[in-house]
A = this chain, B = another copy of it.
Amino acid sequence: MPNPEKTEAVRDKVQAARPLDAFDRKILGELAVDAGLSYAELGNRAGLSAPAVHERVKRLRATGRIRGTVAMLDGPATGKPFLAFVHVDTSGGSKSRTFKALSELPELEEIHSVAGDTCTLLKVRCASSRALEGLLARLYAIPGVKGTRSYVVLSTYLERTPQAGITEALEEEHYEPSTSS
């Protein structure tokens, strides 16, 4: 038989960290493509009313699912046609301070610490190869930087923000523990 007290007590925590349902996923997916949609239109696409959608979006923002709404700038059209990924090998040195300093440069779009045959991975978008040369010079001036490998992007076929994952395509390959057989 059910336990009322326990169910009540757990409910609040569940609400606070409620997993995304199909509506949330749909909303996130739409906003990830176009954040300029009105709540009315968003409601139509998600199958909800405008107030309901508004409430959900507010919650998605408050819980950090939506980090913010930003303008997607076109690199080439804004004077930065040169895109490259730079692998940086380091040994010692203060990563935090280095990363903070790098963040100041508008040319840097991403800084990741990665596992593999390299330590740090940078995404750089700048005006020219000369600008990249300047950036690399700065990198080598940082204590602990042993070497870099640059991958210059020739053409970009896809570039978008995280999708909400309406279709859990890759999840379908999940294994089934043991039940049926």
Q: A38-B3, A110-B159, A116-B152 are in contact. Are A78 and B127 (CB under 8 A)?
A: no
Tell me the residues in window 126-145 of chain A with beta carbons closer than 8 Å to chain B beta carbons.
126-128, 130-131, 133-135, 137
Complex partner residue of A74 from B1, B66, B157, B159, CB under 8 angstroms: B66
Taken together, the copies of this chain in the complex come to: 2
Instruction: Report if A33 contacts B (CB, 8 A).
Output: yes
The CA-CA distance from A31 to B80 in the complex, in Å, is: 17
In the complex, whether A65 has a CB less than 8 A from a CB of chain B is yes
Is the pair B78, A20 in contact by a Cβ cutoff of 8 Å? Answer: yes
A162 touches B73 (CB 8 A): yes
Whether B169 pairs with A116 at a CB distance below 8 angstroms is no
Interface residue range, chain A: 35 or more
Least CB distance, A82 to chain B, in whole angstroms = 10
Nearest opposing residue in chain B for A162, CB measure: B73
Instruction: Give min CB distance, A22 to chain B, whole Å.
Output: 13
CB-nearest residue of chain B to A2 = B36
- Given contacts A72-B162, A106-B165, 14 further A-B pairs with CB under 8 A are A4-B34, A14-B77, A28-B78, A68-B71, A69-B69, A78-B165, A85-B85, A105-B169, A106-B164, A111-B157, A112-B154, A116-B151, A121-B153, A130-B173
Could you list 23 A-B pairs, sorted by A, with CB under 8 Å? A4-B36, A28-B71, A36-B69, A63-B77, A66-B74, A75-B162, A78-B165, A80-B165, A102-B158, A103-B158, A106-B163, A107-B165, A109-B162, A112-B156, A112-B157, A112-B159, A113-B156, A114-B152, A114-B153, A115-B152, A127-B168, A127-B170, A131-B170
